[in-house]
A = this chain, B = another copy of it.
Amino acid sequence: MSDKMLDLVARRFRTLGEPYRLRILQVLEEGDRSVGELVATLDGNQPNVSKHLQILFDAGLIGRRREGTTVFYAISDPMVFKLCALVCSSEAEKSRRDFEALAGKPGRSKR
């Protein structure tokens, strides 16, 4: 993989590396939402939500449509949920390993 591609991929990972943005995506998974709805749902302030939305939009993960003064955002790349599912299962697996290392072999240090 080229260095440029690596940078792009890393950038995409960083986009997803923010809990607040993951929460936004999670809400949007249920359906389109306006900025105001997201602000209310996530209990955040409007400029911050707008900025995160912009970042997700630039990354191509969400799309937007305008109705009057209201802007609705929606998932445009469902890949993100596959990613999250993968990471979640991997995370669960890691927890299991960590647990077994602690419970099963108490004398064996990690290091």
Contact = CB atoms under 8 A, between A and B. Distances in A.
A10 B84 CA distance: 9
B86 A82 contact: yes
Instruction: Count this chain's copies in the assembly.
Output: 2
Interface centre among A3, A11, A22 (most CB of B within 10 A): A22
- Range class of the A interface residue count: 35 or more
9 contacts: A3-B19, A6-B22, A6-B23, A12-B90, A13-B13, A13-B17, A14-B14, A79-B90, A86-B86
Given A7-B19, A82-B86, 18 more contacts: A1-B26, A5-B88, A5-B91, A6-B19, A6-B22, A10-B16, A10-B17, A10-B19, A13-B83, A13-B87, A14-B17, A17-B17, A60-B90, A60-B98, A77-B90, A77-B93, A79-B86, A79-B90
Interface of A: 1, 3, 5-14, 16-19, 21-23, 26, 60, 77, 79, 82-84, 86-91, 93-94, 97-98
